[in-house]
Chain A
Amino acid sequence: MDAILFWILAAGAVIASVLVIGQRNPMYSVLLLIASFGALSGLYVLLGSPFVAVIQIIIYAGAIMVLFLFVVMLLNVPTEEMPTGPQAKFLGGAGPRRFGAILSAFLAVQLFWAMRALSAQPMPGNETPATTVAAIGERLFREYSFAFEATSVLILVAMVGAVILARKEHQ
């Protein structure tokens, strides 16, 4: 049962991610990415991490993607423009993009090659209990308390920065 679920969710995540980068319309990209996050959230449940699965849905699909959707709708640029002009011919021509695609395929091959060295050991089965939120919270507020506090400063700085960057400049 777990094996079937894993392969279905893995296929869903990969197909949705491929479609995300295959779309010219950022609107569809955002919606497909939410589907991909849903599949990943299912994988986290299979991995016995319900906390991560829930924050994946709440924070990623619920907050970050809505922010993206908001900006896509605000800017109203439905489809990607085709490159125009002489500099676009150089920068946006087939050459650099093809080079980038080849580089990422090379990266995938390299990662696969690195992982071949690992022996294929099975994951711990259902008899291993899932991580509880209490255990995560205890660890987070004891050993990682400094990182947690630093994160709050980071979010505050990001918020102020976003407000200042997106503000209309007064002449």
Chain B
Amino acid sequence: MSLPEPTLNSYLMLSAVLFAIGTAGVFLRRNLITILLSIEVMLNAVNLTFVAVDRFRGLIDGQIIVFFVMTVAAAEAAVGLAIVIALFRHKETLTPDAFTSLKW
């Protein structure tokens, strides 16, 4: 059995699939924590693109950007989860439909 050698396209396609899975998760799930997890899936898809293109072109800048993306993801997770805790304390639910007080 011989599988095709991975090309740059294989990595980019994998990244596209992961990104689409993440967007689908944001739309389909009805739980604030799972929505945040879907955003993490999307961030990882982007990281994979950075590293693949880096390797392809022989650079290291992409890996440094990945480092910054991870830092921002950590900050986002901390603030997002703090907001989730505050919302849960307020309404005792995590369904996004329950939080409509800012809706016009």
Contact = CB atoms under 8 A, between A and B. Distances in A.
Contacts of A77: 31, 33, 88, 93-94
A107 B27 CA distance: 13
Nearest to A115: B12
Contacts of A122: 5, 7-8
Interface residues of B, number: 75
A104 B27 contact: yes
Contacts, number: 253
Interface string B66-92: 111011111111110111111011000
B8 A68 contact: no
Nearest to B43: A60
A31 B38 CA distance: 13
Interface residues on A, range: 35 or more
B28 interface: yes
A51 B77 CA distance: 22
A21 B75 contact: no
A26 B52 contact: no
A47 B67 CA distance: 16
Contacts of A140: 64, 67
B19 to A, nearest CB: 7
A60 B70 contact: yes
Contacts of B89: 168
B9 A118 contact: yes
Interface string B41-59: 1001001100110111010
A47 to B, nearest CB: 4
Nearest to A48: B55
A124 B54 CA distance: 11
Interface in A78-102: 80-81, 83, 87-88, 91-92, 96-97, 99-101
Nearest to A10: B14
Contact of A44 (B10, B22, B51, B74): B51
A165 to B, nearest CB: 4
A44 B62 CA distance: 12
Contacts of A40: 44, 47-48
Contacts of A63: 74
Nearest to A157: B75
9 closest pairs, A vs B, by CB? A100-B27, A21-B25, A108-B20, A158-B75, A111-B16, A165-B82, A104-B23, A162-B82, A166-B82
